[in-house]
Amino acid sequence: MKTRKKLLFVVAGLIFLFSIQSFAQDAPNEEFKPVYLVVTTAHWNASLDIDNSDWLATEKEFFEKVTMKNDLIIGSGFYTHYFTPDNSEILFVSVYKNWNDIESASEVSAKLIEAAWPDKEKRAAFFEKQRSYYGPIHSDEIYASIRFKKPVKSDSKEPLIYYVKKNKRGEGGDGFGEYFENITMKNQYVKGYYTYRHNWGANSLDALEVFVFESFCDIESSFKENAKLEEAYWPNEEERKAFFKEYSKIFSGHGDYIYQNVPALAK
């Protein structure tokens, strides 16, 4: 079983390396090492009248005793529905430096769990309570980061808004890096920006763009800001049209999802 699992990981890695080159072909040539994003999409337990403060206290206990102490988890977060097709969605996200750390982190967490809840019965009771907040169905995806990013810079103490644009890879195109440097990076409303490629999961054509905003209304403001920046960078209308004709080939379509984070559970 382990051999088969490792073989599947190798195949997934080869698919990833092939696809990432086409997406980031106009990126700089310096060495880039992706981080790996594990996203579990779960759902609130519809049959349970959830007390938000009780839920937060439970998850915060696990977060402080396990997640924060596991050095192989370099980032993590909880993201709840804000404007998506399914209001029961909740995303659990963990970030790792490399593929091997994904599996190794589970072993570290297991040891931390035993240390935090040494009594077997109390440990079982805690995890039964934690599981009770969620339904039985979930899905898992693994993504790898791409070099195009704008680290979050915000002084807001409130939950941040995450606009996730789930793209489908197109048949070619060019200009992603140029647009990123001259438009996305200069947009004052975009407080953070990250790009990811499918690495393991349902659809190998997935390519994510994650935009971070301080408020929902800033999303619309950012669209207007983009238009101004585009006209300033490409003052010649014909050149601007030519650029976007080529740029539009990078993706064949996309879906939009908006979440907000839980600041108390952010690493």
Beta bridge partners of 112: none
Same domain, yes or no, for 166 and 261? yes
* Assigned domain for 158 exists: yes
| Helix then strand then coil, % of the chain, to nearest 5 | 40, 30, 30
Same domain, yes or no, for 123 and 76? yes
Same domain, yes or no, for 112 and 199? no
Same domain, yes or no, for 237 and 189? yes
Helix axes 99-116, 52-65, angle to 10 degrees: 110
How many CB atoms are located within 10 Å of the residue 91 CB?
20
> Which pLDDT belongs to residue 30?
60
pLDDT category, 21, cuts 50, 70, 90? very low
240-259 average pLDDT score: 96
Tens digits of residue pLDDT in 71-104: 999 999 999 999 989 999 999 999 999 999 999 9
- Residue 256's alpha-carbon distances to 159, 165, 167, 210, 259, in angstroms, are 19, 5, 9, 10, 10
CATH number of the domain within which 61 lies: 3.30.70.100
Secondary structure tally for the chain: helices H, strands E:
7, 8
Rounded to the nearest 10°, the torsion over CA 14, 38, 43, 201 is: 0
How many independent structural domains does the chain possess?
Answer: 2
Query: Can you tell me whether residue 65 is helix, strand or coil?
Result: helix
Tens digits of residue pLDDT in 22-42: 444 444 556 789 999 999 999
Domain that holds residue 102: 32-132
* Assigned domain for 172 exists: yes
HEC-encoded secondary structure of 227-240: HHHHHHHCCCHHHH
> Which pLDDT belongs to residue 9?
35
Q: Taking the complete model, does pTM exceed 0.95, yes or no?
A: no
